[in-house]
Amino acid sequence: MTDTGTARVVRVTGQGAGGQASRSLHRAREARLAGARSEVAPRAEIDASWDRVARSGIDPDQSPESALLRADEIEHRRHSTALGELMPLLRAGLASIADAAQQILVVTDTEGRVLWRQGHTGVLRRAHAICLEEGADWAEGATGTNAIGTALAARVPVQVHSAEHFIRALHGWTCAAAPVRDPRDGRLIGIVDISGPASTFHPATLALVDSVARLAEGEIRGRHLAEIERLRAVAAPILCRIGGRALAVDVHGRLAAVTGMPPVDRLPLPKSLGPGPVWLPSLGMCRVEPLPGGWLVQVDDGGTEGARRRVVLDLSRPRALAVHLTGPLGNRTQRLSPRHAELLYALAVHPQGRTASELARDIFGDGTRTVTVRAEVSRLRRQLAEVLAHRPYRFGDGVEVEVIHPEDRADLLPHSRAPVVAEARGAATTA
């Protein structure tokens, strides 16, 4: 299939074409590599990609192989992207179709590194020969013109077939890829791709891949709205108690609730934000406190700067363990499980902070149980984000901490076997 791009240059595509059109595409490619003029040229998006790749110094006869990421780095990247949460949707939308069409589903990060792949078993084996495997680099700068790399470079869905690939070793393949963006801020978060032998080309594949990518973006949007609703549920009663101007925003600055001032769609936040006073250009001096899933921002109209944060850890009654919080967010009481009481007690005993390994020794007598400790502290911080800090785990700067012990300190958390508690009970017995 051909179409006229200018009066003298014919744009030609190799997609699904045999015979004359395919030969014309090969002639256009060979002319480009030789630096000669030609009356035929590839599609505009392929033409632009060939120019970028040629300038980068890619050898058309090179192997598509690249240094693979280590397994631990692949896992780190999987957990660092929103794509991980979207994989069930992507698999449901594309994996079975790819398998039936003798193709494979490939998902990459924003650098073009393959994080997941799935599909037809025979094609997965063939993909090893071109290094289309987990951890491989499929950006244009590494592997030349290909759907993944070109979609990354152009930020648009693209299909690349046969000789449209810059590297000759890929001429036996066809691929269609679409970018996935975070609808909250428009940032690219990765690429979803379908690849297979050139004989499996179908013109509808690109539309299918793009449709599933848009479904993935819709899933992110839906989850974000649910997160905003949860944040609003937490923030609304707090804002009711606050005088003056204040608003609750998620970690991206998206508004969840507001009082005393006109609403805004998004509050620009500094990249590094922590509890305490902070200057925000749109509001002036503010007091920032963490909320589960976001921040409480209280405009300093003269009444918030002196507000103190205080924690009272009440361990006086084993069946009614609790923590009482006082601060800019108001006063509240949180019931505690025995394990969370142990953790908060360990942090109260060590105000300078504890690493995960140190807390594991405090609670279990085993410094290797860091996974359990991190999980428990993560749950605690979702409830007490305004007073707990991390790296190391500790009560936040400026937080006053008081522990209410039982009348007889030997009765401290009587069912606990945590070394930090047993040590305190033993000290009370020998005193």
Reply yes or no: is the peptide bond before residue 281 cis, omega within 30 of 0: no
For 52-85, how does the pLDDT look when each residue is reduced to its tens digit (9 = 90+)?
998 988 999 999 999 999 999 999 999 989 899 9
Quick one: residue 373, left, alpha or beta (phi over 0 = left, psi -120 to 50 = alpha)?
alpha
Q: Would you state the pLDDT for residue 184?
A: 81
Q: Are 358 and 404 in the same domain?
A: yes
Give me the percent of the chain exceeding a pLDDT of 70: 91
Which among 14-23, 179-188, 358-367 has the top mean pLDDT?
358-367
Task: Tell whether the model's pLDDT for residue 431 goes beyond 70.
Answer: no
Angle between helix 71-79 and helix 83-90 axes, rounded to 10 deg: 90
Q: Are 294 and 314 in the same domain?
A: no
Q: Is 237 inside any structural domain?
A: no
Q: Is 49 inside any structural domain?
A: no
Indicate the residue among 268, 299, 330 that finishes a domain: 299
The residue behind tokens 């690849």 is: 195
DSSP string, 240-260: HH--S-EEEEETT-BEEEEES
Indicate the residue among 220, 250, 277 that finishes a domain: 220
Q: Are 92 and 215 in the same domain?
A: yes
Confidence bin at 7 (pLDDT 50/70/90): very low
The residue-averaged pLDDT of 73-99 equals 92
Tokens of 230: 């949860």
- What's the Cα-to-Cα distance from 66 to each of 135, 144, 177, 196, rounded to whole Å? 9, 12, 20, 19
Q: Using CA atoms, how far apart are residues 380 and 375, in angstroms rounded to an integer?
A: 9
Q: Would you state the pLDDT for residue 274?
A: 81
Q: Is 52 inside any structural domain?
A: no
Q: Considering the entire predicted model, what is its pTM? A: 0.63
Strands of 292-424 (E only): list them.
294-299, 309-314, 322-327, 330-335, 388-389, 394-395, 399-404
Question: Is 118:53 a contact under the CB 8 Å cutoff?
Answer: no
Q: Are 366 and 409 in the same domain?
A: yes
Q: Are 401 and 326 in the same domain?
A: yes
Q: Would you state the pLDDT for residue 9?
A: 54
Tokens of 14: 């190799």
> Of 212, 113, 114, whose CA–CA distance to 157 is shortest?
212
Q: Would you state the pLDDT for residue 182?
A: 92
Phi first, then psi, for residue 116 (nearest 5°) are: -140, 150
Tokens of 84: 């991980």
The CA-CA-CA angle for residues 9, 11, 14, to 5°, reads 145
> Of 306, 110, 123, whose CA–CA distance to 191 is shortest?
110
Phi first, then psi, for residue 337 (nearest 5°) are: -75, 160
Tell me 62's DSSP state. S
Domain count for the chain: 4
Confidence bin at 325 (pLDDT 50/70/90): confident
> Of 345, 372, 344, whose CA–CA distance to 357 is shortest?
372
The residue behind tokens 């109209």 is: 301
Domain with 153 in it: what CATH number?
A: 3.30.450.40
Task: Tell whether the model's pLDDT for residue 30 goes beyond 90.
Answer: no
Indicate the residue among 185, 220, 255 that finishes a domain: 220
Q: Are 163 and 85 in the same domain?
A: yes
Q: Are 278 and 386 in the same domain?
A: no
Question: Is 232:252 a contact under the CB 8 Å cutoff?
Answer: no
Largest Cα–Cα distance of the chain, in whole Å? 99
Question: Is 305:287 a contact under the CB 8 Å cutoff?
Answer: yes
Q: Return all residues near 388 (Cβ < 8 A) that are at least 6 apart.
A: 347, 377, 380, 381, 394, 395, 396
Q: Are 409 and 313 in the same domain?
A: yes
Q: Would you state the pLDDT for residue 15?
A: 57
Quick one: residue 233, left, alpha or beta (phi over 0 = left, psi -120 to 50 = alpha)?
alpha
Q: Is 235 inside any structural domain?
A: no
Q: Are 79 and 215 in the same domain?
A: yes
Q: Is 227 inside any structural domain?
A: no
> Of 17-21, 111-115, 305-309, which gets the smallest average pLDDT?
17-21
Q: Are 264 and 200 in the same domain?
A: no
Average pLDDT, the chain: 88
Q: Are 211 and 85 in the same domain?
A: yes
Q: Are 80 and 216 in the same domain?
A: yes
The CA-CA-CA angle for residues 44, 47, 52, to 5°, reads 125
How big, in percent rounded to 5, are the helix, strand and coil portions of the chain? 40, 25, 35
Domain with 383 in it: what CATH number?
A: 1.10.10
Task: Tell whether the model's pLDDT for residue 422 goes beyond 80.
Answer: yes
Q: Is 63 inside any structural domain?
A: no
Q: Is 225 inside any structural domain?
A: no
Centre a 10 Å sphere on the Cβ of residue 423 and count the other Cβ atoms it contains. 12
Q: Return all residues near 240 (Cβ < 8 A) that are at least 6 apart.
A: 259
Reply yes or no: is the peptide bond before residue 392 cis, omega within 30 of 0: yes
The radius of gyration computed from the CA coordinates of the chain, to the nearest angstrom, equals: 29
Q: Would you state the pLDDT for residue 328?
A: 63
> Of 35-39, 344-348, 392-396, which gets the smallest average pLDDT?
35-39
- What single letter denotes the amino acid at residue 1? M
For 9-18, how does the pLDDT look when each residue is reduced to its tens digit (9 = 90+)?
556 565 544 5
Confidence bin at 2 (pLDDT 50/70/90): very low
Q: Is 48 inside any structural domain?
A: no
Range of the domain at 280: 242-299
Task: Tell whether the model's pLDDT for residue 429 goes beyond 90.
Answer: no
Q: Would you state the pLDDT for residue 231?
A: 94
The residue-averaged pLDDT of 372-381 equals 90
